[in-house]
Amino acid sequence: MPKKKNDKPMEPLTPAVIQDQPITETIEKNYMPYIMTVIVSRAIPEIDGFKPSHRKLLYTMYKMGLLGNTHRTKSANIVGETMKLNPHGDAAIYDTMVRLSRGYEALLHPYVDSKGNFGKFYSRDMAWAASRYTEAKLEDICNELFRDIDKDTVDFTDNYDGTLKEPTLLPASFPSVLVNANTGIAVGMASSICPFNIGEICETTIALMKDPQHDIAATLPAPDFPGGGQIICDRDALNAVYRTGRGSIRVRACYTYDKSNNCIDITQIPPSTTVEAIIEKVIELAKAGKVKEISDIRDETGLAGLKITIDLKRGADPDKLMGRLFRMTTLEDSFSCNFNVLIGGVPRVLGIRELLQEWVAFRVECVRRRTHFDLAKKRDRLHLLYGLQQILLDIDKAVQIVRSTEEESEVVPNLMIGFGIDEVQAEYVAEIKLRHLNREYILKQLNAVEELENEIADLEDILAKKNRVNTIIIQELRAVAKKYSQPRRSVLIYPTEEPEEEPEEIPDYPVHLFLTESGYFKKITPQSLRMSSEHKLKEGDRILQTADTTNNQELLFFTNRCQVYKTRLSEFDETKASVLGEFLPSKLGMDEGERPVYMAITRKYDGFMLFFFESGKVAKVDMQAYATKTNRRKLVGAYSDKEPLFCCYYIHEEQEFLMATVTGRRLLFHSASIQTKATKNTQGVAVLTLKRASRIGSIVPYTEGMLAKPHRYRPKTLPSAGQLSTPEESGEQLTLL
């Protein structure tokens, strides 16, 4: 391509300059501002009980005139107006309004009076309608949130573009921070506040104001969840939550048994789960055969409220079934508490007592600021009336001054000179209408002077006496409790009233067990085995272990990865010899390449496990080492991984074992000669000393008649190399190997 005349030679590229910057400095400059914004301005509630998104939405609705006897407006209108304060988009604003609404049923005392489909808190899949279809206004309880907000009770700040003002807090006249649930996840911290009954909270606050050492549990027995449920009242756990602000509370679903239809109706569930999660878990348990009494489960939630129906099979006990479902599903769940609240812009985890004390301090400041505002207004009014009182002495003189003044700008100065009043008073007098320049009107106005003086004295007394402020707060709390209190929704169950959990009844009958080398397992009844005893095995597979036992037993499968998997025999279905059986690595969730090498059958975890290693060492572990209080299915470090395992045996009592090498040596030793260990991964002790190029050929439990001269192979001390077989026992040697 020919070069153009105007083409300039390309300048060489300047190499990029890379500057090293410590990671701590990068995090501090770039990430820390984001962290602080999320904590302070988004995720953690403040002492008024609201996050910024809640406060912006409610204040916008208040300014739109949606409080009191008014009609609802479209939610889309509210969302649009709120965007002037909250720049996070219409979807986030509408989601916030849904949570605060009565229709969503997430709050004990909703703040938004909703109309239309707002979804349900207890349903994961029930989506709410779009904002253009629903309508809303503020609930009456919001009167307590915005009481005297226009009297300088709280600070105001600019919105994000500086065109509007918004409150930094709402002057709530009750401890809303503890009345409605609030959760939030920030960066490195979170907040989860459970709801309490408004009547009980107001009563507790009043009692604490009168006596800082008041026993909170006496007036605040437990939380009160909007979805009801049964709270298992563990007093120690509740006291820990009350004292530290952290802990968990167990909540159980409520149900009734419909005898005519043989079904269970669940009408209340814990707040930490959903209808769909419960149904999915019950179906999973039914498919796994862990609950066999259920024939069907369905969601019958409708206009009457939440309802999960479980159809039972004939003869099923509903109470026993629910007891098992409480243990295996989220029909009984824990609500985690973390009372993390912003106090003066600083996140603090507080107990109930400290949190209510902080709210009282906040409310005291609100009442004092309101009193200052009212006092200033009344003083200004009284000052004007004092000026009007001077005019009353000679109304004709005031009229004469105004009429004789040539310029309008001189009216106020001339009134000031004529009556000895200040500019504000003179301005007020000058603005009086001509029709009001009569003695009767002015006397009516002056009659309020004495009343104003008394009111000002009362307001000054309130500011001077702390007890007066506390009395006002207590009166307001009692009024709120009287107007908005409602019966508890959550029922308390004390430990003495809890139904005892009866052990699951497992049918017990004889079975034959078969474990193959590839990891297949079969449970066959004697009758089925008699009908067909020929086993179907995978090509190249062989039966590794057989056992006769009963169905009510526990199984421990030891694997080649030094792990053991625990399960119940009743969890396996009965099968036939003509099938491969269940593949244990899949059934028990084993690691890739892991396979079982031994099966131990037990119920009481008595006796010992003997592990024989290829080096000739033997480890003896007490079976109690594998017993666990919790229902753990997998235990690591089941035996030592220092040396390869040759075989293992589970014995109920001490007995002899015959060890033989490939070179013809035999050793007969008693298990009692080995010390029992409580640690599972003990390396054991040396029993058989192997000569060079020798290895273990077999290890079997010894029974009488296996050897012609057994005393010859019993060593005096261990370890021992054993004895060579005699010529007359050579056949036995061949048989053993």
Residues noted as catalytic: 133
Q: Residue 162, exposed/middle/buried by CB under 10 A (0-12, 13-18, 19+)?
A: exposed
Which residue, 99, 37, 86, is CA-closest to 347? 37
Q: 588 is written with which tokens?
A: 């028990």
CA-based R_g, the chain, Å: 42
- Pairing mode, strands 230-232 and 491-493: parallel
- Residue pair 442/392 in contact (Cβ under 8 Å)? The answer is yes
CA 277 to CA 268: how far, in whole Å? 14
DSSP string of 583-607, one letter each residue: EHHHHTTPPTT--EEEEEEESS--S
> Which sign, positive or negative, has the C-alpha torsion 214, 209, 241, 480?
positive
Q: What do you get for the CA distance between the two ends of the chain, in Å?
A: 88
HEC string for 274-305 = CHHHHHHHHHHHHHCCCCCCEEEEEECCECCE
At 620, phi and psi to the nearest 5? Answer: -115, 115
Rounded to whole angstroms, the Cα distance separating 191 from 469 reads 31
- 286 close to 278: Cβ distance less than 8 angstroms: no
Residue from 531, 519, 517, 536 nearest 577 by CA: 536
CA 206 – CA 664 distance, rounded (Å): 90
What is the C-alpha to C-alpha distance for residues 404 and 411, in angstroms, rounded to an integer? 9
CA distance 341 to 164: 27
Cβ burial, residue 629 (10 Å; 0-12/13-18/19+):
exposed
CA atoms of 649 and 602, how far apart (whole Å): 13
What are the residues facing 255 on neighbouring strands?
A: 266
Task: Classify residue 579 as left (phi > 0), alpha (psi -120 to 50) or beta.
Answer: beta
Burial (CB count <10 Å: 0-12, 13-18, 19+), residue 510: exposed
Q: Which residues contact 685 (CB under 8 A, 6 or more apart)?
A: 617, 618, 619, 674, 675, 718, 719
- What ranges make up the beta strands (E) of 462-604? 491-493, 510-516, 520-524, 543-550, 554-559, 563-568, 582-583, 596-602
Contact indicator for 81, 166 with CB cutoff of 8 Å? no
CB 538 within 8 A of CB 526: no
Q: Two tokens at 115?
A: 């109309």
Q: Are strands 608-613 and 617-622 parallel, antiparallel or unpaired?
A: antiparallel
Name the one residue in this structure whose structure tokens are 């690595």. Answer: 585
